[in-house]
Amino acid sequence: MVLKIFFPQCCNTADSGLLVGHWIPGHNSAVVLAVIHYPFIPGQVKKYLSELQSQTQVDLTVLGSWSMPKEGKEGMDSFLKDLSTIFPQKCWLQLSREIGKRGFICQVVQNNGKLLQDREQKNGDEGSEGDKIILIHYDQRKVMLSQLHPVQDVGQKSDIEHSELRLVFQTVAHSQPLFFLDKYDDGPLKLTHWQSEGREASIIAELLKQASVPVCIFLTWLLSLWHWFCSFRILHLYPVLFISSKLSTCVQSGYRAVHFKTVFSPKKAATHMEFMRKANIFVSFLLDIALGLLLISWLYRENRISKLADTLVPVADRVAKEFFLYHIHLWSSYIHLMSPFIERILWYVGLSACLGLTFALSVLSDIVALLTFHIYCFYVYGARLYCLKIYGLSSLWRLFRGKKWNVLRQRVDSCSYDLDQNTADTTLFPLQLFIGTLLFTILLFLLPTTALYYLVFTLLRLVVVLFQGVIHLSVDFINSFPLFAIGLRICRPYRLAEGVKFKVLCQEPGTPLHLMMEINPLKCSSVLQCYRTPTYSCYPKDSWAALCKKLFVGELIYPWKQKTDKTD
C-alpha cells in the first residue's frame, strides 16, 4: 500500500509543530493544509478545529507532527510521541526535516503501535515491501484557486465516487476559512500556510465589492423598466413582431437585454460555471463598448460623416438607375428626398456605436438590408418567374412526350387513348395538345432570357447575403467569445486545470519519494468549447448541394435563417 501525503510548499521551511489537514476517504492519502506551531494548548486546537469544521464542512483533523529542528530545540522527539495520545488518530504522521538535506524523513505510527518506516534496506522477513510513502508537494494558493475540468456540478452526481485528485482540489478549495489567520492576528494559535505572511487585500477591490451591490440593484431595476416597456400590447402586433424579428438590431438588443439580466443580478454566482459565464459576458460587453467608442472616435474625426453622405447619394442614385425604369424612378425620387437628411441620420445612427461595436455592426447590416431592398424585390420577381417557367416547362415536356402526371399514384403514366368510341379519352385531343405544344415552344424560347435575368439578380442577392452573413458571423463571434476565460487561461493558467503533472524532487534512500505536483492548464480549444456563451447562431441551414439544387430550380433562398432556440 502506498501512502500519499500532499504537502504544501509554503510549509517546507516552517517551524516545528502539528500538521493539520484531512484524510481523503477511500484512498490512502492525506492532504496537509497548515502547520500549528508550538506553543499551543491542545484544548484550544481542538476547539478551533471543530469551529472550522462547522464552517467549512471539511473534516479537519490533526494529522501528525512536523519537526524541523533549529538550534536549541532538539529535545522534541519524545514530545512528539506523547502527542499521538492526545490527538487520537488511526495513523500518526511524523515528518521531519534536517537542515541541509533535501529529503524529509517520514515515519507513520499506526493505531496498534506498528511502526512503518520508509527505508531502502529492509530485513527479509519484515514483509513490508509494498509499504511506501510518497510526498507530493503542491502550491497551495494555485490549487486553492484552481478549478478542475471537466466541471461537475455540486448538485448532481454527488453519489459517484470522485477521483482522488478531484477530492484533493475540493478539500483545499473548501478550507479557505482556515487561511484567514495570519501572523498579525493576536490569537492563541500560530499557523503557517500560504497566506500566513499577511492576507492579501486591496482597498479598491473591497470598495468595488461593496459598491457593486447597490449598482447591480439599480441596473436590475432599469432592466425591469425596459422589459415593462417591451411588454406593451402594441408592440406585439404581428407586423411589428415580423419586422423586429427580421431586423438584426432588434435581435441584438434583445440579446443584450438577456445578457444584462444575467450579469447584473445581485445574487452571487453559486457555481463555477455561473461565475465564468457572468465574467465572460461582462468582459465581452466592456470590450464591445471600447471598440464602439474607438469606432466613433475614428468615424467622427475629420468630418467623415459628411463625406460619406456626399458619396452615398450619387452612388445610390447610380445603382438604382441601372435597373427597371419604374423602380428607378421610385428610388431616385426617394433618395433625392432623403438627401438633406442623410447626413443628420448618419450622424445619429453612428452614435449608436457607443452601445457597442456589435450594435454598430447590426445597424450597418440593417442599413444594407434596407438599401438593397430593391435588389431583394427584383430577386424575388426573377426567381418566381424562373421557377414558374421551369415548372411549366417540365410539365409541358411530359405532355410533349405523351405522358401524364398521375396524381393518385404520384408517378408519370403514358396517355392511353381508348379506341372504344364510347369511352374515348378526349381530354388531350386535340385542342389541349396543340395549345400545350405552342406554350411549350414559347416557354422554351423565352428560357434563355428569363434565366439570364434570374442569374443576374441571384448573383447580386448572393453578394448582399454574403456581406450580411459576414457581419452576422462577426457579431456572433463577439457575442459568444469567452474573453474572460481566455484571459484567465493566459494570465493565470492555474485557475483552469485539466489535470496535474508530477516532477521528481528527491529520491534518496532512507527518505520517502518526494514529488512536486504542478497544475496542467486546460487546453485553449477546451476553454473555448467549455465556456462559449450560448448564442442564437445563424449558421446556414442548407448544405451546399441543397443550395445548388434550390438555385437551379428557382426556389427562394434564405441562407442565414435565425435558429429560434439556443444552442448550448
Residues in contact with other proteins by the rule CB under 8 A: 399-402, 415, 417, 419, 421-422, 424, 426, 428-431, 433-438, 440-442, 445-446, 448
Cα 375–chain centre separation: 38
* Contact between 60 and 49 (Cβ < 8 Å): yes
| Neighbouring residues of 563: CB distance < 8 A, sequence distance ≥ 6 | 536, 537, 538, 539
Closest CB 419 distance from other proteins, rounded Å:
8
* Contact between 559 and 274 (Cβ < 8 Å): no
- Our CB check for other proteins shows the closer of 163 and 406 to be 406
- Our CB check for other proteins shows the closer of 307 and 401 to be 401
- Our CB check for other proteins shows the closer of 440 and 536 to be 440
Closest CB 414 distance from other proteins, rounded Å:
9
- Our CB check for other proteins shows the closer of 50 and 414 to be 414
- Our CB check for other proteins shows the closer of 232 and 445 to be 445
- Our CB check for other proteins shows the closer of 50 and 427 to be 427
* Contact between 393 and 444 (Cβ < 8 Å): yes
- Our CB check for other proteins shows the closer of 70 and 401 to be 401
C-alpha cell at 332: 431616385
Q: What is the 3-state secondary structure (H, E, C) of 522-547?
A: CCHHHHHHHHCCCECCCCCCCCHHHH
| Neighbouring residues of 462: CB distance < 8 A, sequence distance ≥ 6 | none
To the nearest 10°, the Cα dihedral for 106, 109, 110, 111? -150
C-alpha cell at 142: 494555485
- Our CB check for other proteins shows the closer of 150 and 430 to be 430
Per-position DSSP letters for 198-240, written without gaps between them: -----HHHHHHHHHHHHHHHHHHHHHHHHHHHHT-GGGGSHHH
Closest CB 418 distance from other proteins, rounded Å:
10
Closest CA to 455 of 541, 386, 406: 386
Closest CA to 38 of 79, 95, 6: 79
* Contact between 263 and 223 (Cβ < 8 Å): no
* Contact between 517 and 172 (Cβ < 8 Å): no
